[in-house]
């Protein structure tokens, strides 16, 4: 079920909650060949379900079906190269963003305290984390860095040392600044975010 959709002149994005049976979702699609090919290469029914939900969400956003291919590094692209996209999924949800911008990225993360256990992998000593709102703040940092990673689409990036989240106080919705020191361009990012009871989502274009 489509639970969130936003659209303006620069981008459109949405979130699908996977409440339906996979067979019901699959029945909404005409082009199923790439999904058939995918099921022959993976044994996980959950991953197949996610991929079906992504196709249905894309069809809902675009009002048409497009064939998705993948670069060797896993970055998705449309076969007709008509628009750029980024895809994310977490427990029971998939998210997709579409934009003409080449630096487009989205990430959705289910809220849990697991992020505290991997903090040392992606938070540098220079980054501010609100101790009174630690889990949410860590999740937004993690999600934002995943979004930046997808937008840059470069290998060997170190989330802890190459991506930098500028200090901000987490709210239910808003934006914050981030930067990267992996490329010679040292790009700046404006990260948009939404917080719900079940997940956080970040995106950039």
Same domain for 34 and 113, yes or no, is: no
The domain boundary residue, chosen from 59, 74, 100? 100
The total number of structural domains in the chain stands at 2
The domain boundary residue, chosen from 67, 100, 133? 100
Same domain for 40 and 73, yes or no, is: yes
Q: In this structure, what CATH number is given to the domain that contains residue 54?
A: 3.90.470.20
Same domain for 95 and 111, yes or no, is: no
pLDDT for 179 beyond 60? yes
Average pLDDT rounded to a whole number, residues 25-35:
78
Q: How far apart are CA 129 and CA 149, in angstroms?
A: 20
Same domain for 8 and 45, yes or no, is: yes
Average pLDDT rounded to a whole number, residues 93-101:
97
Same domain for 91 and 111, yes or no, is: no
Same domain for 6 and 95, yes or no, is: yes
**Global model pTM greater than 0.95:** no
pLDDT score, position 74? 86
Same domain for 36 and 55, yes or no, is: yes
Q: What does the pLDDT look like over 121-143, one tens digit per residue? A: 999 999 999 999 999 999 999 99
Output phi, psi for 123, to 5 deg. -110, 125
Domain residue limits at 190 = 107-204
Which is more confident, 33 or 21? Answer: 21
Average pLDDT rounded to a whole number, residues 92-121:
96
């Amino acid at each position: 079920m489509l639970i969130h959709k936003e659209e303006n002149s620069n981008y459109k994005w949405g979130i699908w909650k996977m409440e339906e049976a996979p067979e019901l979702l699959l029945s909404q699609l005409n082009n199923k060949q790439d999904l058939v090919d995918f099921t022959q290469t993976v044994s996980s029914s959950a991953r197949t379900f996610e991929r079906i939900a992504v196709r249905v969400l894309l069809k809902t956003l675009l009002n048409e079906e497009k064939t998705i291919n993948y670069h060797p590094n896993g970055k998705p692209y449309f076969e007709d190269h008509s628009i750029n996209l980024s895809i994310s999924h977490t427990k029971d949800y998939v998210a997709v963003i579409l934009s003409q911008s080449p630096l487009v990225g989205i990430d959705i993360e289910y809220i849990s305290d697991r992020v505290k256990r991997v903090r040392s992998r992606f938070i540098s000593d220079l980054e501010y984390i609100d101790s009174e709102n630690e889990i949410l703040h860590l999740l937004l940092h993690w999600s934002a860095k995943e979004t930046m990673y997808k937008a840059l689409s470069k290998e060997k990036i170190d989330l802890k040392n190459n991506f930098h989240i500028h200090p901000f106080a987490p709210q239910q919705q808003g934006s914050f600044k981030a930067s990267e020191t992996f490329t010679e361009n040292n790009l700046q990012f404006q990260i948009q975010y939404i917080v719900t009871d079940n997940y956080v989502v970040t995106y950039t274009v």
